[in-house]
């Protein structure tokens, strides 16, 4: 059971749940490709010393993958019938919530790559203050439509 499910109030309905896009694994994939290229060149040229950099870059790729996986699995984004909920972290938890009647606008910032792969940054502006940008949200236009369609 996630954070959003735990904090739903009586009568409040979950309308939409969003995740961070899979593209946050891009650094890990690039490092893995470099490690594979180093490994292939080490095997092809027969140099045992070339396997050491391949292993080092492989460990870096594993570190990038774990960091992205942890960030994606511990971030929750939800739109309910009453509010917007954003939760970051696991041990050190950080939550942001905004009542729907306080929302003035929802901005979506997508690059060309974001439009192709359907991800972007979502910024919710409210009366008085707004939520900080939530980066690399999958299907940000769908998220925005759930917020604005009330």
- Percentage of the chain lying above the pLDDT 70 cut: 99
Beta bridge partners of 12: none
What confidence score (pLDDT) does residue 127 get? 86
Using CA atoms, how far apart are residues 63 and 55, in angstroms rounded to an integer? 12
Give the integer Cα–Cα distance in Å for 47 and 88: 45
Q: What value does the CA radius of gyration of the chain take, rounded to a whole number of Å?
A: 20
- Two tokens at 65? 């993958």
- The whole-model pTM stands at 0.85
Residues in the chain: 150
Number of Cβ within 10 Å of residue 112's Cβ equals 7
Q: What is the DSSP letter of 130?
A: B
Alpha-carbon distance of 98 to 131, in angstroms, equals 8
Please work out, in degrees rounded to the nearest 5, the angle formed at the alpha carbon of residue 16 by the alpha carbons of 2 and 6. Answer: 25
DSSP 131: P
User: Average pLDDT of the chain?
Assistant: 92
Dist CA 142 CA 146 (whole Å): 6
- Evaluate whether 115 touches 47 at the Cβ level (below 8 Å): no
Q: Does the pLDDT of residue 46 top 80, yes or no?
A: no
The pLDDT tens digits of the residues spanning 86-119 come to 999 999 999 999 999 989 989 999 999 999 999 9
Longest Cα separation, the chain: 67
Q: Token pair of 141, please?
A: 């236009």
What pLDDT, on the 0 to 100 scale, is given for residue 51? 83
């Amino acid at each position: 059971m996630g954070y959003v499910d735990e904090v739903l109030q009586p009568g409040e309905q979950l309308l939409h749940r969003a995740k961070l896009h899979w593209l946050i694994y891009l650094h890990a994939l690039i490092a893995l490709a470099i490690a594979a290229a180093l490994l292939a060149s080490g095997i092809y040229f027969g140099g045992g010393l070339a396997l050491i950099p391949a292993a080092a870059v492989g460990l870096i790729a594993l570190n990038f993958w774990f960091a992205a996986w942890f960030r994606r699995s511990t971030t929750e984004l939800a739109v309910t019938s009453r509010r917007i909920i954003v939760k970051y972290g696991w041990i050190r938890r950080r939550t942001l919530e905004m009542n729907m009647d306080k929302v003035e606008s929802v901005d979506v910032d997508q690059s060309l790559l974001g439009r192709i792969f359907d991800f972007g940054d979502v910024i919710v502006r409210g009366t008085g203050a707004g939520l900080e940008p939530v980066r690399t949200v999958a299907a940000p236009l769908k998220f925005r439509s759930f917020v604005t369609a009330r």
